[in-house]
Amino acid sequence: MKISVRHRLIKEIPVLEVVSEQDKNNSLPLVIYYHGWQTAKELSLTQARKLAKKGIRVILPDAMNHGERKTGGVSPIPSVTFWSSIQYNIIEFSQLVRHFDKQGLIMEDKIGVGGVSMGGITTCALLTQHPEIKAAVCMMGTPSPLRYIDRVMTRAAEMDIFVPKDLPLLLSWVAHYDLSKQPEKIAKRPVLFWHGTEDPKIPYSDVSDFYEGIKDKPFAENSQFMTGMEEGHLVKGEMMDVVAEWFEREL
C-alpha cells in the first residue's frame, strides 16, 4: 500500500496529512495525532503510517512553539511555553476537524485523537470538552494536569527557580480541561492509556492512580490502561502497532 504524506497549511496551521494514496480523496475515519514537547510533527510519522495502513486519514499538526512554528526560545518561567503550546492545540482542534468535515472527508463522524507526552495531555484535555471525539489514545501523557502544575511549582521552589506566585491563576484555564476532575466526560468512549513505569518526565502514578479510580465505573467500561514495565519516556514500534489496531477497531 502506497502512503501519501502531504505537507499542508490549514488556516496557517502546518500539518502533515498521511493517508493511503488510493483513498486520499475518499471519506475516511479521521485521527488527529499530537507530538510531544520540544519535538515536531515529523517524529509522529511512523505512527501515522501505521494508522494510514488501517484505512485512516491522519493529521499531524505542529504545536505552537514547535517545528515550523518555533519562533524563539522557551520562556524562563517553568511550564509557561509548555502550557501555551497545549492551549493552542486545544483551540485549533475544532478548526482542523471543520476543514475536513466541510470537504466531506470524515466518514460517519468518525473522529479520533491521540498523542504522546504533551500530545497525550492534549488528548485528555480535549476529551473534557469535545463529545464528537469517538475514540482516543493517551501515550505517556497525564489526565491530571493540575497535579502536574503543582509538581512544577514544588520542584521550582526546591531548586530555587523563580516562578510567579500567581502561575496557577495564569493557568486557571487548565482546571476546565482536567480529565481527572471530571472523568465522567469519558462517557463510555474507547480510551487507551499507556505509560512506562520508569518514565522520568511524567510519573507513571499519574495515570495508574487515575485509572484505578475509574476502572469500575460505567463511564469507563470501554477504557483500557496498559503498562510498560521498566520502560521510560519512549513509545516503541510494538506499541505503535497496538495504537493502530485500537483505532482500526474503535473508529
Residue 244: exposure state from Cβ atoms within 10 A (0-12, 13-18, ≥19):
buried
Using alpha carbons only, what angle is made at residue 215 by residues 212 and 217, rounded to the nearest 5 degrees?
A: 125
Torsion angle, alpha carbons of 34, 37, 38, 41, to 10: -10
pLDDT in tens, 206-243: 999 999 999 999 999 999 999 999 999 999 999 999 99
Q: Which pLDDT score is estimated for 155?
A: 87
Do strands 106-116 and 28-34 pair parallel, antiparallel, or not at all (unpaired)? parallel
Q: Which domains, and CATH codes, for the chain? A: 3-67+80-250 (3.40.50.1820)
pLDDT band at 2 (very low <50, low <70, confident <90, very high): very high
pLDDT in tens, 139-193: 999 999 999 999 888 888 898 888 888 888 999 999 999 999 999 999 999 999 9
Residues 65 and 92 sit within 8 Å (Cβ to Cβ): no
Residue predicted with more confidence, 80 or 127: 127
